[in-house]
Structure 1
Amino acid sequence: MDFRQLEALVAVVDAGSFSKAGKALATAQSNISTRVKNLEAELGVSLIDRETMGPTPEGRSVLERARRILVEEESIGTDVKSMSETVQGDVSIGMIGTTGRWLIPHLLQAQREHYPNIYLRIIEGTNSALEPRLATGELNVAILSMPLLSDSFRYAELFDEDLVLVTPTKGKRAIMGDQVSLRDLTSLDLLLPLSGTPLRNEINEACELAHVRLTPRIEMDGIRTLASLCFDGEGYAVLPATAIPAHLKLGFRGIRISDLPPRRVALTLPPYGLPSTPTLAVYQLIKEIVARDTSLPSGLHRI
């Protein structure tokens, strides 16, 4: 068994075919096929179902360990480079969009001051888009909304964020008052996160406790797009407090929902492998930014 065989196995599963795996690894399809066949022969089992191109039960077991080995191999080179006077290397960060809007400027400033030789790749997305990429090691670290879809991730809780009803500040659609209840929302044209997402699950759990059933006009897996629809007048949205950008706060505001708890946001690592030195440096930077910054956006609460 060698490293290239494990690399080929992971590439075939991720790409969905031997030919695409060959392109991803910049080698011939025949080389990929040979490496996987040799690995299967050595282990005495079939690792890939040739009809579905997915892993067999034995393949899933080997695949999980192979991913760990590949992550560790990448970290070795990064850590050796970082043993010089300055920490250097690449770090890929996944971030839910509402948090990215206010956190990224702070992170970039801190990175320039403390770790100028770290190169950051920042990918914004939803939990459902980012979690699989974190699980495979494509992302080194991610800021995600709790609860996570998988309990295998390692994480540190960062802050709580109020969930609010977004409404215009004036006009016939404006809702007055400082707070509403979930029952008050039943008469509104609601825009809600998609069923099955962490945020929607949290809303549904609160509704069950309050014996309330909400029927949304629109469901969508994408907080920023959902917010845009709300700002365009398509309805009222239940969103994190930071979903309202600064330039729209004269026209829109978030009203507290009395029986809806805040969401919790966490800094998350892949489920296996030791983080590289640059990853640990960025991980600590993010924790320090949240812990020390006295100008956190309205609606955020340190834990």
Structure 2
Amino acid sequence: MASLKVMDLRQLNHLIAVADHGSFSSAARSLHTVQSNVSNHVAKLEKELGTVLLDRRTMQPTPEGLAVISRARRIRAEIKAISDDLLSINEEVEGQVQIGCIGTTARWIIAPLLEKLTKAFPSLQPRLIDSDTNSLTQKILSGDLDLAIIDTPAMNASLESETLFKEEKIIVAPAGHPLSERESVSVQDLSEYEMMVTPQGTFFRDSLDEELSSVGVEIKIGAEIDGLRLLASLAFQGHAPAVLPASAASGYPNDNWKLIRINGLIKRPVTLIRNKRMTPSLPARATNEVIHEVVKEIGPKQSGIEVCI
């Protein structure tokens, strides 16, 4: 059985850096140190644990390495939480909080969230990550994020999730397009017009295709755009109608386009997730409460959004 007397956080951090960056040299740059320092720390950790953690040919973690890295990330997150809690020992919320959010929701939630956090907790340092659901979920599991807002229900047993709101699937059509004369359309109407959509394999597109297939409707694809924000931008610029989540229409001037509701489609759940295997720090708990406040206050003002909390 391996001895753990020598293993320390530096060794774990160096191992995580190599796994994240793919080489000793890149890891060294990210840690602002020299390559030999990184390789020595990893080698000492391997000797202490009595196993190989990195395949030196591919620089990929071995199965043993993956197990160590997974726990090392959680250890690092817990140590950060300890530091943040100590800063907040007198119930003054200080330290950092890492928040992730999908881009469409970020359009209307992030600005008021930052404003409320700054006003309520001036010593708090929020760090925001704008990314897709898969990436944000992995960062929650690894301990790199405290909280994340994603667009699918969390199915992983390590995640705690809560549905913040549900949003309609809508059409954004350029002014002058035949659809711009309508307030809403039926699911069957979708087959009559060419639409821009996200590609197959994205959750939004796959859920849309599944619903349309169940009622025998096939949408006419004008273009497939990988990324909801780019898709929304093209629609608002007047390129062509696009099927989007309702959040994507928030914040754009509405003089050159029209929002059309689609009757009969299931609303998309948007959820707040955290890693339930890690005890949330006081900054994370405080931020969680403020996210709820923002959604309750601003969500009802967003077209096509049904608040669930």
Q: TM-score, normalised by structure 1?
A: 0.90
- Which residue of structure 1 aligns with residue 207 of structure 2? 202
Moved more, 54-63 or 286-295: 286-295
- Which residue of structure 2 aligns with residue 165 of structure 1? 171
Structure 1: distance between partners of 2:234 and 2:156: 30
Tell me, yes or no, if the aligned pair for 2:167 and 2:245 is still in contact at 8 Å. yes
1:289 aligns with 2:289: no
1:186 aligns with 2:218: no
- Which residue of structure 1 aligns with residue 60 of structure 2? 54
Are the structure 2 counterparts of residues 42 and 296 from structure 1 closer, same or farther at C-alpha, using a change threshold of 3 Å? same
- Which residue of structure 1 aligns with residue 45 of structure 2? 39
Shift of 1:118: 0.7
Shift of 1:78: 1.1
Are the structure 2 counterparts of residues 201 and 153 from structure 1 closer, same or farther at C-alpha, using a change threshold of 3 Å? farther
1:133 aligns with 2:139: yes
Q: Report SS of the residue matched to 2:170.
A: strand
Q: Mapping of 1:114-263 within 5 angstroms? A: 114-148=120-154, 152-168=158-174, 170-263=175-268
Opposite residue 128 of structure 2, the aligned amino acid is: I
Shift of 1:164: 0.6
Shift of 1:105: 2.9
Structure 2: distance between partners of 1:151 and 1:130: 16
Structure 1: distance between partners of 2:92 and 2:274: 23
- Which residue of structure 1 aligns with residue 76 of structure 2? 70
1:280 aligns with 2:290: no
Structure 2: distance between partners of 1:2 and 1:70: 11
Structure 1: distance between partners of 2:275 and 2:149: 12
- Which residue of structure 2 aligns with residue 86 of structure 1? 92
Are the structure 2 counterparts of residues 246 and 73 from structure 1 closer, same or farther at C-alpha, using a change threshold of 3 Å? closer
Tell me, yes or no, if the aligned pair for 2:180 and 2:257 is still in contact at 8 Å. no
Deviations 1:258-286 (A, max 9, x none): 23211111112136422221111101110
Opposite residue 291 of structure 1, the aligned amino acid is: K
* 2:269 aligned to which of 239, 261, 264: 264
1:20 aligns with 2:20: no
Moved more, 154-163 or 129-138: 129-138
Structure 1: distance between partners of 2:155 and 2:56: 29
Tell me, yes or no, if the aligned pair for 2:194 and 2:219 is still in contact at 8 Å. no
Tell me, yes or no, if the aligned pair for 1:167 and 1:252 is still in contact at 8 Å. yes
- Which residue of structure 1 aligns with residue 3 of structure 2? none
Tell me, yes or no, if the aligned pair for 1:195 and 1:201 is still in contact at 8 Å. yes
Q: Report SS of the residue matched to 1:239.
A: strand
Are the structure 2 counterparts of residues 171 and 151 from structure 1 closer, same or farther at C-alpha, using a change threshold of 3 Å? farther
Which consecutive residues of structure 2, in runs of 5 or more, have no partner in the other structure?
Answer: 1-6
Opposite residue 305 of structure 2, the aligned amino acid is: L
Shift of 1:161: 0.8
Identity of matched residues, % = 39
Shift of 1:250: 2.9
Which consecutive residues of structure 1, in runs of 5 or more, have no partner in the other structure?
Answer: none
Q: TM-score, normalised by structure 2?
A: 0.89
Shift of 1:72: 0.7
Tell me, yes or no, if the aligned pair for 1:135 and 1:271 is still in contact at 8 Å. no
Structure 2: distance between partners of 1:172 and 1:65: 55
Shift of 1:215: 4.8
Deviations 1:203-247 (A, max 9, x none): 122123223333523223322210111123332111112322444
Structure 2: distance between partners of 1:241 and 1:150: 26
Opposite residue 25 of structure 1, the aligned amino acid is: L
- Which residue of structure 2 aligns with residue 302 of structure 1? 307
Structure 1: distance between partners of 2:38 and 2:299: 53
Structure 1: distance between partners of 2:148 and 2:86: 24
